[in-house]
């Protein structure tokens, strides 16, 4: 028999509550770790992204500066426009045409690199200063720029300070970045305001309080003190780094005296962190509240519920009376009161159901036994009819007498259990009846030890399987052999019992029938076949409370084998008529 797997042990409610709290704490800690790690990773990735973006912009500006330096230098050295302008008077046609051509060239240059760039030229011999492209500088700043540039040109160190080097200058409180390219007494000047130069970096998200600025070699901020969100940048106190972490990225321009600084303040990430900490605090408050509620529930609710559950578990323990404890919960008090009445009703109901089940089983057993008796009786009549067809008169007389004795004993015996010795005598009588029909077509052998003669078994059990062997195994070609062997043995769980084996050398069970018998499936009885086997199995199931076992096998070579394992019943059960 298959060993059953032990069912999981049931646990109280407080166990599941503790498990839920433990899981919640673990999830909380994991969430906190993941949140901090995520903030660090996102900050690192954002900083790396901003560094790469700033590097790309700085490289582009360096390329633009280098190209404009080269373009202005090439124009001064190789373009005849400025030579013509320097050779003619300012109001001459040649000067004006050359001025127009120069203006067109630098206007195209301005379109390629942005309207923020301003270009001027200065003819020292004629003291003539004018823009050679549209300008974005207001007039007061223009006049101040003109004054400062002329003063720079008059300075003997102009080559060292400004040649091919973009340098910041302060004009009316606002910084500009200029580059002066000289060639003899002619000069070309490129100019852009510090705010316009830094504007693309300010479009990058550096946080709500982050900002980008231009800083010279002395640390002076050249651009306006405005954050990327448009707010004025306030001075940072002593504890500013603790209040709001910051990351500064500094990128230097080539051939300049200034650099670009980006101050990243991840205000959004700090808010996320604060939100996470608030969630943690809230969770701890919830855990504390749950703990207090658990203590209260344990004393006021879980304890009485557990006591009530134990009372429910004692319903089937008739020897142990239920212990009803008082509770301050009205519903449980009412349930306890109803529970007392329910236990009494259940006991009464169980007794009624038990008696009905006994009556039902008695009716089923009587019906099955009545099915078996006519079944065998009809088989005997069929056998007598067959012998009459071949005029076996003496055999008919002997078989009729034997059959009469057999059924006389059978109908007189209404017990559910008979001695094994009596059952085997009936089997031998049945076999003798069949031998009168088939003569030498089969032989049989019975082995019954002395200690098994008085064992009680249900009547007609062995006869049913013997009848099946005779019906399907007898052949006119070969002699059939039927063997019945009885042994006393010990069954599962230490129960004493009897092992009865019936075998023959016939064709064996058909595969489809054997498969159903071994699988415990019912056989098809619609055509009037297999009635005896199925009824016998049902009788064994009822009479032995599912403790009996029957196995069906086919022997190697040929033949069928049926083995019965019948446990010993208590003496009173073996003597009464199904008093279950």
CATH number (domain holding residue 548)? 3.30.565.10
Quote the pLDDT of residue 120: 93
| pLDDT-derived band at 338, boundaries 50, 70, 90 | confident
User: Looking at the structure, do residues 189 and 71 belong to the same domain, yes or no?
Assistant: yes
Final residue before a domain boundary, out of 360, 394, 415: 360
Asked whether residue 577 is domain-assigned, the answer is no
Reduce the DSSP state of residue 297 to 3 states and report it. Answer: helix
Q: Is the domain of 252 the same as that of 338? A: no
The pLDDT of residue 11 is: 62
Residues 173 and 319 in one domain: no
Half-sphere exposure for 426 (CA within 13 Å, toward CB): 26
- Residue 420 falls inside a structural domain: no
pLDDT band at residue 143, thresholds of 50, 70 and 90? very high
Lowest mean pLDDT among 65-69, 179-183, 426-430, 450-454: 426-430
Most confident of 99-103, 315-319, 329-333, 461-465: 99-103
Average the pLDDT over 304-313 and give the result: 66
For residue 230, the model assigns a pLDDT of 65
282 or 235, which is more confident? Answer: 282
Q: How confident is the model at residue 278 (pLDDT cuts 50, 70, 90)?
A: confident
Here the tokens at position 525 are 């009885």
Note whether 152 and 23 are same-domain residues.
yes
**Across 192-212, average pLDDT:** 80
40 found inside a domain:
yes
Residue 50: pLDDT band with limits 50, 70, 90: confident
What average pLDDT score do residues 548-562 get?
89
Percent of the chain at pLDDT > 70 equals: 71
As a whole number, mean pLDDT of residues 444-458 equals 89
Q: Which residue has the higher pLDDT, 277 or 204?
A: 204
5: left (phi over 0), alpha (psi -120 to 50) or beta: beta
For the chain, the average pLDDT equals 77
Q: Are residues 225 and 321 located together in one domain of the fold?
A: no
Give the containing element (helix H, strand E) for 335: helix 330-389
Whether 489 is covered by a domain: the verdict is: yes
Pairing of strands 442-447, 480-490: parallel
Tell me which range, 23-27, 412-416, 520-524, 544-548, is most confidently predicted by mean pLDDT.
544-548
- Of 332, 360, 388, which residue constitutes the final position of a domain? 360
pLDDT at 244 over 50: no
In the chain, the percentage of residues whose pLDDT exceeds 90 is 11
Instruction: Give residue 573's pLDDT.
Output: 44
- Least trusted range by pLDDT, from 123-132, 142-151, 344-353: 344-353
Q: Are residues 252 and 354 in the same domain?
A: no
**Residue range 219-248: mean pLDDT, rounded:** 62
Q: Which tens digits make up the pLDDT trace of 478-516?
A: 788 899 999 999 888 778 899 999 998 888 888 888 888
For 217-308, where are the E strands, in sequence order? Answer: 247-252, 258-264
Selected residue with higher pLDDT from 391 and 325:
391
Residue 40 pLDDT greater than 50, yes or no: yes
Residue closest to 376 by CA, chosen among 535, 187, 236: 535
pLDDT score recorded for residue 150? 87
Residue linked to tokens 């700085």:
58
For residue 334, the tally of other CB atoms under 10 A from its CB is 11
Helix (H) or strand (E) holding 247: strand 247-252
Which residues share a beta bridge with 171? 174
349 and 476 both lie in a single domain: no
Domain limits for position 98: 15-231+245-264
Does the pLDDT value for residue 119 go beyond 80? Answer: yes
269 is a domain residue: no
Residue 555 is encoded by which pair of tokens? 């022997």
Residues 77, 174, single domain; the answer is yes
Residues 249 and 325 in one domain: no
Tens digits of residue pLDDT in 382-402: 777 877 888 777 877 877 877
Residue 340 lies in a domain: yes
Q: Is 538 exposed, middle or buried (0-12, 13-18, 19+ CB in 10 A)?
A: middle
Domain tally, the chain: 3
**CB 82, CB 186: distance < 8 Å:** yes
- Closest to 425 in 3D by CA, of 408, 439, 446, 443: 446
**Confidence (pLDDT) at 499:** 93
The model's pLDDT over 359-386, given as tens digits with 9 standing for 90+, comes to: 655 555 555 455 555 666 777 777 778 7
Report the candidate in 98, 107, 154 with the shortest Cα–Cα distance to residue 131. 107
pLDDT (0 to 100) of residue 240: 41
pLDDT at residue 46 greater than cutoff 60: yes
Q: Are residues 131 and 250 in the same domain?
A: yes
Q: What does the pLDDT average to over 445-472?
A: 86
Same domain as 327, residue 219: no
pLDDT for residue 556: 87
Q: Reply yes or no on whether the pLDDT at 464 is more than 70.
A: yes
Least trusted range by pLDDT, from 122-126, 170-174, 269-273: 269-273
DSSP bridge partners of 189: 120, 180
Examine the fold and report which residue of 306, 338, 360 is the final residue of a domain before the chain moves on: 360
Residue 66 and residue 208 in one domain: yes
pLDDT digits 0-9 by tens, 258-276: 888 878 765 555 565 566 6
| Residue 417 maps to a domain | no
Do the domain assignments include residue 380? no
């Amino acid at each position: 028999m298959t060993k059953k797997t032990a069912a999981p042990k049931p646990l109280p409610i407080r166990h599941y509550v503790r498990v839920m709290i433990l899981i919640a704490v673990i999830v909380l800690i994991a969430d906190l770790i993941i949140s901090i790690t995520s903030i660090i990773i996102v900050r690192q990735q954002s900083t790396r992204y901003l560094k790469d973006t700033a590097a790309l912009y700085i490289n582009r500006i360096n390329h633009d500066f280098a190209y404009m330096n080269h373009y202005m230098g090439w124009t001064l050295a190789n373009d005849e426009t400025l030579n013509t302008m320097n050779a003619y008077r300012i109001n001459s046609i040649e000067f004006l045409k050359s001025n127009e051509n120069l203006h067109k060239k630098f206007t195209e240059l301005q379109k390629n690199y942005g309207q923020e760039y301003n270009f001027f030229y200065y003819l020292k011999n004629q003291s003539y200063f004018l823009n050679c492209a549209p300008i974005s500088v207001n007039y007061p700043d223009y006049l101040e720029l003109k004054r400062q540039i002329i003063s720079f040109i008059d300075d003997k160190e102009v080559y060292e300070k400004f040649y091919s080097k973009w340098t910041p200058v302060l004009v009316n409180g606002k910084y500009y970045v200029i580059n002066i390219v000289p060639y003899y007494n002619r000069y070309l000047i490129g100019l852009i305001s510090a705010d316009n130069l830094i504007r693309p970096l300010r479009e990058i998200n550096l946080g709500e309080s982050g900002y980008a600025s231009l800083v010279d070699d002395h640390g002076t901020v050249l651009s306006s003190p405005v954050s990327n969100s448009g707010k004025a940048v306030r001075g940072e106190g002593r504890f500013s780094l603790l209040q709001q972490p910051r990351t500064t990225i500094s990128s230097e321009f080539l051939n300049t005296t200034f650099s670009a600084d980006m101050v990243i303040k991840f205000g959004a990430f700090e808010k996320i962190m604060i939100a996470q900490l608030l969630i943690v605090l809230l969770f701890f408050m919830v855990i504390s509240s749950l703990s207090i509620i658990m203590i209260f529930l344990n004393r006021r609710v879980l304890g009485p519920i557990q006591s009530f559950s134990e009372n429910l578990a004692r319903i089937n323990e008739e020897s142990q009376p239920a212990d009803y404890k008082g509770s301050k919960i009205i519903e449980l008090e009412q349930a306890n009161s109803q529970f007392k009445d329910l236990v009494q009703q259940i006991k009464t109901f169980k007794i009624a159901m038990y008696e009905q089940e006994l009556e039902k089983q008695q009716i089923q057993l009587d019906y099955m036994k009545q099915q078996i008796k006519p079944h065998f009786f009809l088989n005997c009549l069929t056998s007598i009819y067959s012998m009459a067809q071949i005029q076996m008169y003496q055999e008919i007389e002997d078989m009729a007498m034997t059959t009469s004795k057999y059924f006389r004993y059978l109908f007189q015996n209404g017990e559910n259990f008979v001695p094994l010795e009596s059952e085997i005598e009936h089997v031998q009588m049945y076999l003798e009846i069949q031998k009168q029909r088939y003569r030498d077509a089969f032989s049989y052998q019975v082995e019954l030890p002395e200690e098994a003669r008085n064992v009680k078994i249900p009547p007609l059990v062995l006869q049913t399987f013997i009848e099946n062997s005779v019906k399907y195994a007898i052949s006119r070609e070969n002699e059939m052999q039927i063997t019945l062997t009885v042994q006393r043995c010990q069954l599962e769980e230490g129960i004493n019992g009897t092992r009865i084996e019936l075998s023959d050398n016939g064709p064996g069970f058909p595969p489809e029938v054997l498969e159903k018998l071994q699988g415990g499936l019912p056989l098809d009885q619609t055509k009037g076949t297999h009635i005896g086997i199925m009824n016998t199995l049902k009788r064994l199931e009822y009479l032995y409370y599912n403790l009996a076992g029957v196995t069906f096998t086919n022997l190697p070579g040929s033949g069928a084998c049926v083995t019965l394992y019948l446990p010993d019943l208590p003496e009173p059960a073996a003597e009464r008529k199904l008093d279950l």
